Amino acid sequence: SFAFSIAQTCQVTKDFARATTFITLLVSSPFIVHARHHHHNGALTDDFIMRQTADYTNGSLPIYSADGKVAYRFMKNMHDRSNRQSTAILMTESFDTLFVLNSGNDACAFKTTYTEIPAQESRDIFDRQFEIYPHGAFKDDWRFNYRNATGHTLNYMFVRNYWNKEGKIYKEVNGGHALRVAEIRNQRRHDPWLQTHHGVDTYTVSCRPDAPKAELVTLLALVLGRSITFFHLLSFQSGSLHSLLQHTS
């Protein structure tokens, strides 16, 4: 609705007014500061590829390896849009569930958290968590972490480009320093397994061999879905405003 469009515009204005505070917080974060002076050791040799779509009409979205084989499958369900409740599932190529993430605040322009809760432990302890911090006119801040086999929590950050959904992913090491482990890119690919002569728009994460691949492809799918939702919302708002102006002119 137009009222919703105005509310969204007001929210962006408020976010812009808080820009100075936000930038100060970013600069003061050791992880983000050290990301500017990150280590590049380790080639990004492993690719995982998605088509640029978030259409679940035919079921889960396949995530391919560079040879065209399905490496993972990703599924996301919105249970209650009014309450922003959703579930995201990462599966193997044969549809076996790897992990399930739940969210109670999944909505564009809102802080969103996707959390995996272990079945037999305290609900205050999670195995995986993905977080999105939207900043209005500024680019979103994406973070995720997971517990490894020894019980240690490993922290990662996606430094997204301002003008698109590409960017680099860093692992926090040595008390705040950043190690680049992956990069996300928009591509137009012509691989034979895509079965087209015109090329296909894809979204690709390239990572180190020792990077957490399951978590990285989950991030890839979440960023893609969020981006598509944002542009659909933007198009809807623009259309509503254009229609209103036509009726009032």
**Helix, strand, or coil here: 60?**
coil
Q: Residue 170 and residue 119: Cα distance in Å, rounded?
A: 29
The rounded distance, in Å, linking the Cα atoms of 81 and 203 is: 26
> In the chain, what are the domain boundaries?
2-248
67-71: long-range pairs with CB below 8 Å, 24+: 67/193, 68/191, 68/192, 68/193, 68/194, 69/93, 71/213, 71/217
pLDDT, one tens digit per residue, over 218-244 is 999 999 998 886 555 555 444 444 444
Phi/psi for 144 (5° steps) reads -150, 155
C-alpha to C-alpha distance for 86 and 39, rounded to whole angstroms:
36
Dump pLDDT digits (tens) for 18-75.
443 333 344 445 555 455 555 566 799 999 999 998 888 889 999 999 999 999 999 9
H helix runs in 30-158, sequence order: 30-35
Mean pLDDT within 103-108: 90
**How confident is the model over 151-183, as pLDDT tens digits?**
899 999 999 998 889 999 999 998 778 999 999
- Top pLDDT among 86 and 2 is at 86
